[in-house]
Each structure stands twice: as C-alpha cells, then as structure tokens.
Structure 1
Amino acid sequence: MEQQKKFKSGKSRRETAVQGTNDSSIVSKCSMATAGYFNDPFLKEFVSKTAKRSPLINRGYFIRATAIDFLLKKFLSSDSKKKQILSLGAGFDSAYFRLKSQGLIDDVMFCEIDFCDVVKRKHTVISTNSTLNSLIPGYFTQSEKEDPLIEINTDRYKLLGVDLTQHNTLEALLKLCGIDFDNPTLLLSECVLTYMTKRCSSNVIQWASETFTNSTFVLYEQINPNDSFGLFMQNHFRTIGSALKCINAFPTMDTQLQRFKQLGWEQSEAMDMNQFYYNLVSEEERNRVEWLEPFDEYEEWHLKCAHYMVLCAYSKTCESLLSGFTKDISVSSNVIPSCVTVEALAEMTSILRFGHASTVVNGVIVTVAGFGEEYGKHQRLSSIMVTDAKTFKSKLLNLDVDLDQIEIVRLRHTLCSLKDGSTILIGGRMSPTYSCKQVVQLMLNCHDSTRKDTEGTETSLQTKDNSTNGIENSFCKSTDLTHAIVLNGASRKTETPDSNYELVNSKDKKLIQNKDESDNLNCAQKETLILNSDSRHSDKNCVNIENTNLTSSHLNAKSNETHSHKVIIDRQNSSDSKIKEKPKCLSDILDLDSNKVNSNCDKKDFVILENMNCDNKETKDIKSVSLTCSVIKQTGYIPVPRWRHSAVVCQKAGKEMIFVYGGRNETRLALNCGYLFDPDNGQLSQVCNSESEPGYRQSHTASIWNNQVIIAGGLDLQLRPVNSIYMLDVDNLVWRRFDVTGELLPRYSHTAQVIDNLLVLIGGVNLCHQSPGVAVINLLTGACAEYALSVPDPDFLVLLHQHQICYLGNGRFVVIGGGGNCFSFGTLLNRSPFILDINKCVQNFTQTVCNKNGLAS
C-alpha cells in the first residue's frame, strides 16, 4: 500500500508538471497576440498576469497558432454537415471562442477535454467572465450534469475533465454529451501525446481511428530529438518535470507517418514548421511578421521550426488539409556519413559567446565582442578575448576606452587582420535597431616580456603609448614562444617611432634600442631589436605574421637545421647582420597552408637570422598581450551601415584592401552591394552591380583564392538559405557564378576556409532536418561533397553556427564560440575552444569523389 501511494504521488507530480506547461504556454500565446502576430483577443481572458516574451518566443507561438488555425478553418470550410471538433488536452486554449466570434462554428459541436483540475480552473474563468460565457449559447440554461466529469454541456460546447488514457470513461462521456462517432470529426492534439508513454499515446491514436469512422487527426508536437538542438530541448523538458516520453520512439516525420498508418489511419501527411511557413503562409503575411518587432535570431527561429511538425491523418473519406504543399525539405540521401570529429579540450571552456568575430594575429586568436557569458551573466559583451593558437590558453581584455565613443559592443560584425599586425573591425550592430557605423582598428601588443641574457640578468622590454591616435608600438612576439620572436613595426597610423626607444642610426635605420636598458644588452640581443622607424614603409619593412600560429616547421622549411629561435631583420639596412638564409619576405617564405617555402618574393627585403642567445631566453605567455584601438575616418563612398555581412582581405593594384559584401540593416533584410575599403586612408569605393553578382545576401561567407573573392551560401531577400557560390575577380571587378557538381546543401551562419584549391564550408543552418556539416568543394573542377557531423555527445553539445574558426593545418580547425538562444528552452553556448578535424573528409573527397568523376584533386 505504501509503494502504491508513492507511485500515485509520483504520477500526480508528473501530471502537475505537464499541466504546468499549459500555464506557461497560455502566457506566451497571449504575449504573441498582444504583439500583433495573431488576432485572438480571448487569450488574455485566461491569463491572470501578462508577460512580454522575446520576439523569438512570440514567433514560435505565432507559427503554432497560425498552423492550427489554418487547419481548423480548412476543415470547417468543407461541404460536410454536422461537423465535430474534439480538442484533446485543450488546456486554456481559446480556439472555440475565437472561431465562435467569427461565426465559423455556429453549427459545429466543439468539445474540449483535459485533466479534471485543468477543466475546473477553465470553467471557473468562463463562469466569471461575461466576454467568454456570452459566446456559449445556453450556458446559463444547461441541464443538470449527468456526470461529475462533465463541467459544461451545452448544445454546441462541451468541457470534459477526463484522462485521455481512460478510453472507456472518455467514450461514455462523449456519448452522454451527444457526440456522434459517425459525423465528420477533427481530433486535435497540440503538444499532448508527446508527454505520454509510447504505449499510452499509441492507444489514443488507435482508439480514435477505431471510434470515429469519418475523421481527421491533427497532431502538433516536437520531432528530431537527436541533434544538438533536440538534445538541448529534451533536457529542458526533463528539467521542468515534463519529459518528452514519446519523442525518441517516433523521432521523425517519417516514423510518425508510419505510426499512424500502422494504427489504423488510411492516409497521413506532415510538414515541419519551416515547410509550413514558406509554403502555406503567404509572402504578404511573412513580410508583415518580419517587421512587427526588431528581430535578428534567424538561426534559432529556423531550428525551432525544424523541430516542430504538424501531421494530419485521415480516414478514407476525409479530404486533405495540406493540399498545395509540394516542396519537400528532408534529410538528403547524398550526405556522406560522418567523417568529422569534434575534440573537446580539457578545461578549455573560456570562450562562451556567439555573434562575435575572430581573427589570428601573430599566433594569437583575437575574439571581439558578441553575446555570451561573462562573470556568470548572459549579456552583450564589450570584452576582447585573446587566445594562444598553440596552447589555446585565453586572456580576457577589457579595453580602457569610452564605449560611448568607440563602438566595441557589437554583434555579427567582421574582423580582418592585416600584414602590419592590426585588425580592422567593420559593421555589426548594438541592437536590431542600431547598426554600428565606426570602422575600428585594433593593434595587438605583446609587452612586459621578460628575457634573460647569457649572464642570467633579467631584462624587461616595455612600451608605452605616445602616439596621437592611441595605437601602441611594440615588439610583438608570436605566442608560439619556443619557436620565434616576431618584431612588429609602427602601425599604419603612427607617424613617428615610440619615444621610449632611441634611433641609433636614423639614416640606415639599423636599430631602435631602449634608452634606459640598452647598456644591459649584448650585441646579439641588440640584433633582436631591429625596427624600421619610417612609417611610410611600414607595410614593406615591418615584420608581421597573418592568420597563422608560427611553428618550427614553417621557419625551418628551407633548412634541416634546428633553430630554437629566429629573428627577422631588414637586410638592406643592417649590414652588420650575419646572414643565415637568403633574404625573403616573411609572408612569402611561409606558405602557411602547405608548410612549404615559397620562393616567389622580393629577395632583397628580409633575411632570417639565428639568435645567438636563444638557449637562455625566457618569455611570458598570453598574459603579456594587450590591445589598443582607434577609429578610422571613412572617406569617399560611404555605404549604409550593416551587419551579417562578409569581409575579406584582398590585393587591388598592389595594395592591401578589404572587400565587404551584403549583410542587412534596420530597414532591409538583405543587401546586394559590395565595396572596397582601403585601411591606409579610410577610402571606400563601391563595386558596381552586375547581372552575375550574388544578389541579396546576408549571413554568408567570403574567402580569398587566387585573388578572387568567393561568396558562399547565406540568406536571400526572402530569408531562404541558398547554396550558390559566386566569385569576384578583384583585379577587374567582374563577378561569375561558380557551378558545382555533387551535393551542396543550402546554409547560412557558417564559416569557410580555403585550403590549397579546396573550399571548405563548416556548419551553418538551413531548412533541412539534418544540420549542415562540412562541405568540400574543388575550386578547380567544381566537384563537391557533403559530410555529416558526428553524433552529438550529450555531455558536450555543439551548435555549429554563429561560430568562428582558425585553421591549424593538417585538416584541423580550432572552433571559437558558437551557439544560440534555443527558443524558450534556454541559451546553449558552445564550450570553446574545441578542435574540429576534417581529415577524413578531405581524404574521402580526394580518393572517392574526385576519382569517381575523373577529376583532379
């Protein structure tokens, strides 16, 4: 007996938790209606205290209400007489009152069924609210209840309190209320059966098929439980005590369709909410919804819609309610099973953000702003994270700037690194109603680096900001400190060398040494302090490393000798130097993707020297890195501010330029314009439109290959993901479409990387039931293949969108950030950095895809 009491108590708690979803749902529905998404003035009558939900939640309940309303009205519009609607697990739904006020169910029998406690509460609201009870003809004259489980029993409206699993009791009550099992009947279940066990829910479906001879069953509930979003969704419902018990037994639309067929229904059809929205919601209505509230959460919106479906099952005499739907959105059969592996880095969870931008400068990954977790709070971020690209240790930098004057707090911006060691921050937004207008230059500074000379004397190299624009000159070191010292020259905006250093030979520009400590340095150490003092030639003579973690394989690619430290100096202006290598440009010496030496460079510019005292050198880690920033004044053609655009560094007429394309702003959902930005002088010039351009794009990627800009994927003006690829020849500014052969899924909010002659697209979001994994495209032949992501680890969930990547070589990437707000289930922030390995993808592509098509790899 005691065990039985415990069982009942546990069951009661579960039922209470499920009933609680009704209370939360009705508040969200009311918020959605109040915001103007859906016309239902009766929802607020069932809410004791209103609350404003986020635009994402409002949209989620809008598509739910719109889908159910669409199906009910289509059922009511048929020629059949004596129609009946049974709402199973109705809760506080207001459909009866809405349809009654519109004159659509005057001759329809409408019956609502739920737990006894729920219907009693609903009846109490109706009895004390004249707006509601006036819409129930005969409410005050109804006859005495024939059963205590019947709360309301009028000619056209019934309210019953009974457990749906008690079929005999339910059927008896329906007969008492005058329900005719042979009349055309629609049975509606909105997020009800999924809370039951597989056996109980299937029994309800089978009972309905056997009891009603002329019926339609409409089911709205969750699907796709086994990707990261689905697992996160399941965790949410388990946490609140109302687990989705049935979702894993019937996880997809196909399995649900098969289930209904096996349980006695003649026909069935289904669509997810993305399919419904883009096929059965008019373009006019979609445009209206887009501008109801400021909204910029398309990833979460599309993912939510991909995880909810509506299914209609019919007895043989019923008409289809989803006719006119033709486009199929499903899992592609051509996606190659997972060759992608995800590797969590032990105790490396320091970067929790999305909508940020990252780039690599001198072996340091710089991550700017975004939305995420900081000091235990979820918020828009003003901080900048710097991460060692080898050890992945990170440091949080809070810039000492006036955030009201310099727009650092932004989302969905771009960050481009230049050869002078600076990074350029372009676009982004502070909110969906405010685009950032400033172009900000950030300079990485590695200071306070402690070294020891041959006698063990510690020497500290420090810099201070004496320039007019706040940019600090410093001797930056690669964070791969065992391999190289990187000397950074004056920034683009600096007119004179830092006054903390003395120019020993201004004519030859041999050496800038620290005034106070130069006497403590021996000759070999002074060789490491070479810096060009002429800022006019800083692009040519300053030593910089772009987008790489400098490794010994890079520095020793030309030689079998092992040097634990290397130094770059200006050969033209340092005749005293001992030459160990032929002079080359550093950026050309290091072929960063292939680890090979590139001999096509100006051989008079730089040489690599061995540091004589490397054995005794000691340096600090990422903790010594800091950043300074300034605003670049823009001149010439000033484009509209934007976010969700792309930006990539290219070469135009021998100059380093940044090409920016597309995006969106406060008034346009997608832009179709591109422009070139000159970081030297802030000059902007528009790239004229042409018939072969990508058109309207946002949330796409831009990559550079053979000085051609590659625009891949994105959202179009109708906010549909695309799979097109376009190329811009930077030299003559001519666009062309790049055609591919093989599978290429639409995607947006992804990342891209060119590796040799391959374009790799990583992650993203689309309207399919399978999240995009990794696409590999041969840029010489157009051959393409898609590779699925590995099965998610429930203990290490990853949403591979709104992230950033850094290529480490050998098919390995470090992923920075990513994630999103998962509807009403909470926020999932990727625990990053983590490693993504696509080696098997590239091997399969080279050996299978290219060889199969007789194409060069």
Structure 2
Amino acid sequence: MEGGRPGGRRSAGVSERRLWSGAVLLGRSPAGLSGRQGEAAPRRRLGRSGGSCAVRGTGGSSAVSKCSAAERGYVRDRFVRLLAGRPRRRTALIHRGYYVRARAVDHCVQDFLLKTRSHPRRQILSLGAGFDSLYFRLKDMDLLHHTVIYEVDFPSVVCQKAALIKRTEELSALVGDAGAEGLGVTTAFSGKDYRLLGVDLSELPKLSAALDEAGLDSEVPTLFIAEVVLTYMESSRSDALIQWAAEHFSHACFLLYEQMHPEDPFGRVMQQHFSQLNSALRSLSQYPDCEAQQKRFFEKGWTECSVMDMNEFFTHCIPEDEQQRVQALEPFDEYEEWHLKCSHYFVLTASKGMEPSWTPLLSNVAVPPHHGPVRLAGSVSALACAAQSEVVGLRRYGHHSALIKPNVILTTGGFGEENGHHCRMRSFHVLTKYAGSWQTRCVKKENPDQGWDERLYHTVSCLSDSLALVVGGRTSPSNAALGMLWLRFPKICNDSDPGDVTVEPVSLQPAAEPAALRWRHSTTEVIFKGEKYLFMYGGRSAVQPVLGDWYFLHVPEISCATIAVEGPVPEGRHSHSACSWKGGALIAGGLGAAEQPLSSVFLLREAERGFRWQIVETHPPLIPRYSHTAHVHDGKLVLVGGVWFHSLCVPGITVVDLMTGLCLDYTINAEHLEWPLMLHNHSSVFLPDEKELLLIGGGGNCFSFGTHLNPNPISLNLSSILTSH
C-alpha cells in the first residue's frame, strides 16, 4: 500500500526520539530507467555531451520506482505519486535497492537535522535533485525550522518540476508564497524555505553565482546531498565541486551515494550497462573503492570522512526488526543480486567545521567488518571449454549439473536463454568428453508429453548410470510445491559411441514428498550401517525463508527413515554447499536466517546409534559465503565461487584441509575470457582422475543492469593447489 501520513502535522517541538522514529524515509528517488531497470541508469548526466539529453528525462522513471516501493510498503511517501504520476509495478529487487538507498539518505539527513537543531539557520543543498520529494516530506513533518532547501538540476528538469508544483495544489500549498522575481534567472521556483534552480553542476562558476543569487549562506551549517551524480562528471569537475564546498562553506557536511568496484565481474557488467546508455561512470577508475573515495575527500579539504558499502549499512545501521520487516514484505529470491548490488554502492559522509563532528556512519559501527585482508595463496587459470563462441543451452542459472557417467554431465532446470528468450529452462543439456574435448549432445525425451516442470534451485542425485532423483526446486518464490521426479536414461552415450542421450522424467509420489517442498537445499548421499541414504538438509520454502531441518531418504525406495542425530545442531541455512565424505556429509557456508552469509563448516558423521554433527574448525577462519559449490578430494574440501560481503575481492577457490583445518584462498584468473565470469548461481562438476573442475552456467539478473549469463563452461585444473598443502 502507499505509505500515508502517520498522523497530523507534527508540532514544532518534535522530540529526538520521534525524529529518529523512522516513520518517514527521507531518501530520494533512485536513478533508473523505465520498466525493470528502476535504479540502473543515472537521472542526469552532467556536462555537454550528446548523451545528457537522453538522460535528463529519467528522473520521472526514478520517481516511478520510488512510487512502486511506497505502494509495497517499503517507504512512506504520500507525495511521490504527485511527482511520479501513474504508479507502475517494479520488482522486489528494485524495491530493496531503492529502500536501502533511501534509508541511508534518511539516516544521514535526520542526523544532520538533530545535530544542528540548536542553530538559528541551516541549509540543505540537493545536487541533481530530479523529481525528489525530500522537501515536501520534511515540510509536512514540520522539521524545516530555520532551514532552507535548495535543489539544483538541469534547467529542463527543474522547469518540469516547477510546473508540477504549480499545478498541484497540495505541493504548492506546502511551498507557500512562491515566486521567482528578483532571485535570478536560474531560479525556476521558490518559497520561503525552498529554492529550485536550473543550472549545470559541472559549470562551477555558474553554480556558485546562481546559489549566491538564490541566497545560499556560506556561514551557516550546510548539508550537500549528491546521489549518483558526481560519477557522471569528469573527475576534475567533480573534484572541484567537492573542494569548492569544503573551502567556500565554514560549517559543511557532504552526503555522497554512488557506485564502486568497477573491475570485478559484477562491476564490469555495471560499467558496460552505463556505457551502453552513453552515460559512462567517469570517476570509477580514479576512485574505485571506499578507501579511494575517503582519501579523495580528505585531500579536498574535509576533516572528517566515513564510508561504508550498502551491505554494511543495511546490517549495522538498520535495526533488526526493521530489517525483518523489509525482508518479509514480498516474495524474494534474488539474494545474490541484492548483495552484489549493495557491495557495489557506497554511502559516504564528510564534514568540516562542525562542532561536534558530524559522523552519522560511525554511530552504530565500531569496526567495519568486511575489510580485513584476504591471504591469497595463489591463482587458478580459467579456460573456456569450447572453441565456439557459445555452448548453446548452458546460458542459465539456478540449475543443477550432475555427472551421470564418467565424462557425461547432465544439466537440468534453471533460468536462462532458450530459443532467443529468457525463461525457465525446459530443455535438458548433456556435455560429453570425447577425444579430449567437451561436446554438446542432443537430448531426446522418451515421452514428450511427460515434460520437465521448469524448476530452479533443485538437486539431482544419481543413483545409477540409468537413474537419478530430482528433489525440490521452485518455479516462482511463492510456489515450491514441486516434490520429486525420477530421471531415467534409457539411452546414454559412451566413449566408443558418443551419440545422443535420452532422458525420461517420471513423476514420483513417495511418502517423503512433503519434505521435498523446498529449494536452495542440499541432497547428499550418506551411508548408515552399510545402507545408502540421501540426506536432505536446509533450504527454504514458500512459507519459511530459512529451513534448518533434515530428512534421511532410504535408497532405493526413497522413503523417509528415522535416524538419530546428536551433536551441535547447525543454524538454519540455504544456498550452502554439501558433499559426501567418509560416509557422511560436509555442510559449508550458506545464507542464515538474517540473510547473512555463514562461515561454519559441519561434518555429519556416522556414530554408534545414528549420526553426529561435528564442527570443522578452520584457520584462518573461513570467510562467510553462500551460493557456492563444493567437492571433496583426498581429504580436502574445495569451495568454488559464491557471494561474500568482503569488499576487497570476489570469491574464487578455497581449499580446506579436513585433517589440519588449514584454509587457503585462491583467485580465479579469468583474464583470457571474453566475458565477465560470474561465479554464483552456477554448478560445478569435479573429475577426480584429471583433477579438473568444470564450471557450468551461473550469473543472474545483475540488479537492473540486465541479465548476465556465462555463455560457456569453464575448466579449472586444480592439480597444483590440491597437491600443494
């Protein structure tokens, strides 16, 4: 529903507790395009390039995304509809991205208002404000005592906004007595505590003159807000603006929100997206991370500066009950893209001349948790497995790949590209290794009418050369009622006859089916008293966001068996890894109940009367991660890819010696590949004789930067790292 006003207009003596209550978010609209791409593109591009005209009109689309988030209850903003017009639905991922951005701005703006409430005058200068409703929400809450808000954007943008305000009674009434007479040619609209100016931010002399004309006072506390603005300017111009603000204003605060980490796989996709929009991220190469941005502000005259990525902000600056509220608002299953997006955006606050110092990002965080060193032991080179530009049928994520016979890999399900369309995948895919190279084989369905149900995030357990069991999965985040399937292989290729493969899906209605209504879980073969069982653990369901239960399925009849389990119970998780070892199961990492990556490794091992959980200690501690895959070879646990919150690098290969606990991290060298290698939502198959690891598929909808899918399988030779320790 649309967030409404929580009550009547608040009194002038608003208390500190009520000001911090969070009833209204003071964030601004996200930069974005129309449709799914609500926060991807810039609202404006600064400077005199040909691309600027095409971007100036996207502020309306940003307001539409903001309106959609308000409709779903992420934020409360009764003015956004007046500025956005007809609401259009965005995705849950866009809603979350907008929410955390708005929450960060809200957090900092409220802190500024609190810390300066005793001053007789104060100012907020919003750079590139677009169709933001910040002024109207602050005014409606009666928080603008002795405060003037200045908004600056391109003349064409502010003219549109001014026209909207003039013809909308509720907006114009809040501004009050309006008029531009005597305030300079750049002022499109004004009131007692509001100025709307049309000027190009990259032309600093004109900007300074226009603000002087509009009455901006360089001697009173001033908050500058720049959301996804400076990065579209030439670095020399944005640097000059930052330095001008520090030198020209005696009591200044700066709030900056924009992108970072341009060179990792997600960052490359992000950069490519903006380049295709003719809106390149100009400052990223010079200021690629939090540390560089912080150094930038110190060098430009600011005396205090704090910065954190949006994963840190969400985790440490938003109360747990509010996190839980947002996480429960609507069905959601795009955790990887959510966390990757948050790791590629930051919020920065800087100040000078403020007493006391303005440090809103340090109030709840003593030590940033994600910036410790990663001790890399080396690297592994990634090689494409096919000479052709793309292996048709393997552009997918959320799938499962299984070795159904030596050198024969079956891939099922997932979301990807089929017949030129993005969809849930209906086709099976088989890779065979013949004459030393991997080749695609045609897959035939024995019974075309018995179709695959297009599931994602399922498991496939091979019980023989001709039979596999599919467990769980989903079609949509609100529908996981998919149960189990048999996959039979009446005809399978071999080394002497690398022909076609026939796959026959067969519905299965065992007594254990209700336990299988989950996804992002694991199914691992274990041995108890000499008999085989499938150990199904964790995952999530349409009702429970995290599951911590488990079931033993007796093979071959696939019936639930009751087996006692002792020891320290792992916390619930999904998107973890699991693999068989010494008749038991190794569980590593995953995403916990608070949507935080886990670092724990557990071994489920056979005991006298059942099984027992045992914690596997690692040193140094395993970096928390999820959406990875895992294999065991010769007493070594190999973790592949995934997502973590560490800001300095992306997950590659981690090897844990299960005898000593030694944990070593290796990067994956993908410089020879022609595309950004996304190592999440992938599958992997390990060939122990060759010590070859095959990475298949992976990727996802990279926030609103478009869908990126790895086109080819990737081969990693792990011989050196599996014998090095």
Indicate whether the TM-score tops 0.5: yes
2:471 is the alignment partner of 1:429: no
For 2:673 and 2:82, locate their aligned partners in 1 and report how far apart those are by CA, in whole Å: 41
Please give the alpha-carbon distance, in whole angstroms, between the structure 1 residues aligned to 2:170 and 2:673. Answer: 48
Deviation at 1:293, TM superposition (A): 1.3
- Identify which of 249, 264, 285 aligns with 1:212: 249
CA distance, structure 2, for counterparts of residue 25 and residue 9 of structure 1: 17
Alpha-carbon shift at residue 135 of structure 1 (Å): 1.0
CA distance in 2, matches of 1:686, 1:105: 65
Alignment of 1:669-684 (within 5 A): 669-684=545-560
Ranges in structure 1 where 5+ consecutive residues have no aligned partner:
1-7, 447-475, 482-618, 847-857
Is 1:790 aligned with 2:697? no
1:703 to 579, 583, 588: 579
One-letter code aligned to 1:346? A
Partner of 1:232: 269
Q: 2:382 is matched with which residue?
A: 342
Which residue does 1:541 correspond to in 2?
A: none
Shift of 1:154: 2.1
- 1:388 partner SS: strand
Counterparts of 1:594-673 in structure 2, within 5 Å, are: 619=497, 621-622=498-499, 624-635=500-511, 638-639=514-515, 641-673=517-549
Q: 1:62 aligns with which of 99, 111, 120?
A: 99
For the pair 1:801 / 2:680, whether they are aligned, the reply is yes
Partner Cα distance (1:312, 1:756) in 2:
50
Match of 2:711 in 1: 831
Instruction: Name 1:418's counterpart in structure 2.
Output: 463
Shift of 1:108: 1.0
SS in 1 for 2:518: coil
Q: Distance between the aligned counterparts of 1:840 and 1:204, measured in 2?
A: 51
Matched with 2:153 is 114
Aligned to 1:129: 168
2-side partners of 1:103 and 1:224: how far apart?
39
Q: Where do 1:456-495 residues align within 5 Å?
A: 476-478=492-494, 480-481=495-496
- Using the TM superposition, give the Cα deviation of residue 661 of structure 1 relative to its aligned residue in structure 2, in angstroms: 0.4
- Cα distance in 1 between the residues matched to 2:451 and 2:204: 66
C-alpha distance in structure 1 between counterparts of 2:721 and 2:353, whole Å: 48
Which range moved further: 46-55 or 154-163? 46-55
**CA drift at 1:658:** 0.9
Partner of 1:100: 139
CA contact (8 A) 1:749 1:765 kept: yes
- 1:25 pairs with 2:70: no
Quick check: 1:83–1:107 contact (8 Å CA) kept in 2?
Answer: yes
User: Would the aligned equivalents of 1:109 and 1:157 in 2 still touch at CA under 8 Å?
Assistant: yes
Shift of 1:21: 4.1
Amino acid at match of 1:188: I
Contact conserved, 2:175 with 2:192, CA < 8 A, in 1? Answer: no
Relative to structure 1, the CA distance from residue 315 to residue 828 in structure 2 (aligned partners, 3 Å threshold; closer, same or farther) is: same
Taking the TM superposition and a 5 Å limit, the aligned residue runs for 1:314-393 are 314-317=351-354, 318-322=357-361, 323-336=363-376, 338-344=378-384, 345-347=386-388, 348-350=390-392, 351-362=394-405, 363-390=407-434, 391-393=437-439
Q: Which residue of 2 aligns with 1:606?
A: none
CA separation of 1:9/1:294 partners in 2, compared to 1, >3 Å: closer, same or farther?
closer
Q: Which moved more, 1:308-317 or 1:25-34?
A: 25-34
Partner SS state of residue 97, structure 2: helix
- State the match for 1:748 in structure 2: 626
Write the distance in 2 (CA, Å) between the matches of 1:720 and 1:10. Answer: 40
Q: Is the 8 A contact 2:391 2:440 kept in 1?
A: no
Change (3 A) 1:10 1:655: same
| Pair member with larger Rg | 1
Aligned to 2:38: none
Q: Give, in angstroms, the shift of residue 831 of structure 1.
A: 1.2
User: Which deviations, in whole Å up to 9, do the C-alpha atoms of 1:149-191 show, x marking residues without a partner?
Assistant: 1112322000111111222222222222222111111000000
SS of residue in 2 equivalent to 1:346: coil
CA distance in 2, matches of 1:763, 1:226: 17
- Structure 2, unpaired ranges of 5+: 1-44
The answer for the alignment partner of 1:284 in structure 2 is 321
Once the two structures are superposed, the pairs formed by residues 150-169 of structure 1 within 5 Å of their partners are 150-169=187-206
Task: Decide whether the 8 Å contact of 1:646 with 1:662 is kept in 2.
Answer: yes
Give the 3-state SS of the residue equivalent to 1:430 in structure 2. coil
Write the distance in 1 (CA, Å) between the matches of 2:181 and 2:656.
73
- Matches of 1:220 and 1:80 in 2, distance apart? 27
Distance 1:688 1:118 in 2: 67
Preserved CA contact (<8 Å) 1:28 1:58: yes
| Change beyond 3 A, Cα 1:328–1:111 | same
- 1:715 pairs with 2:588: no
Aligned residue in 2 for 1:394:
440
Q: CA deviation at 1:704?
A: 1.1
What is residue 6 of structure 2 aligned with on the other side?
Answer: none
Compared CA separation, residues 331 and 795, structure 1 to 2 (3 A) = farther
Counterpart pick for 2:659 among 767, 773, 780: 780
Task: Please tell me whether the aligned partners of residues 57 and 157 of structure 2 are also in contact (alpha carbons under 8 angstroms).
Answer: no
**Change over 3 Å in CA distance of 1:162–1:705 after alignment to 2:** same
Contact 1:648–1:659 at 8 Å: present in 2 too?
A: yes
Write the letter of the residue equivalent to 2:654. A
Is 2:484 aligned against 1:444? no
Q: Deviations over 1:303-330 (max 9, x none)?
A: 0000000000110423211111234243
Aligned sequence identity (%):
37
More off after superposition, 221-230 vs 163-172: 163-172
The alignment covers a number of residue pairs equal to: 666
> Residue 715 of structure 1: CA displacement?
0.8
CA distance in structure 2 between the partners assigned to 1:162 and 1:47 by the alignment: 22
**Greater CA deviation, 122-131 or 259-268?**
122-131
SS in structure 2 at match of 1:201: helix
Deviations 1:40-78 (A, max 9, x none): 121222224432111111111111111111111111112
What is the one-letter code of the residue matched to 1:207? W
In the alignment, residue 787 of structure 1 is paired with which amino acid?
Y
Q: Give the aligned residue type for 2:71.
A: T
- Stretch moving more, 760-769 or 341-350: 341-350
Per the alignment, residue 510 of structure 1 pairs with none
Shift in alpha-carbon separation, 1:30–1:687, aligned structure 2, 3 A: farther
Q: Distance in 1 between matches of 2:447 and 2:606?
A: 36
1:786-834 C-alpha deviation (Å, 9 max, x unpaired):
1123255673211101111111344321111110110111000011222
| 1:320-377 residue CA offsets vs partner (Å, 9 max, x unmatched) | 1111123424344233165121111321422110001110112321111110000000
In structure 1, what is the Cα distance between the partners aligned to 2:197 and 2:512?
71
**1:53 aligned residue (90, 95, 101):** 90
Moved more, 680-689 or 217-226: 680-689
Task: Find the partner of 1:250 among 287, 292, 301.
Answer: 287
Shift of residue 106, structure 1, vs aligned partner: 3.5
Aligned-partner Cα distance in 2 for 1:283–1:398: 50
In structure 2, distance between residues paired with 1:203 and 1:794: 38
TM-aligned CA distance change 1:285 to 1:811, over 3 Å = same
Asked whether the equivalents of residues 703 and 754 of structure 1 are also in contact (C-alpha less than 8 Å), the reply is: yes
TM-score, normalised by the number of residues in structure 1: 0.75
Residue 381 to residue 637, structure 1, CA distance change in 2 (3 Å): closer
Q: Is the 8 A contact 1:750 1:800 kept in 2?
A: yes
Q: What secondary structure sits across from 2:526 in the alignment?
A: strand
Tell me the SS of whatever aligns to 1:151. Answer: strand
Q: 1:80 to 1:343 in 2, by over 3 A?
A: farther
SS in 2 for 1:66: helix
CA distance in 2, matches of 1:688, 1:320: 53
Give the corresponding residue for 2:122: 83
Instruction: Confirm or deny that 1:192 pairs with 2:71.
Output: no
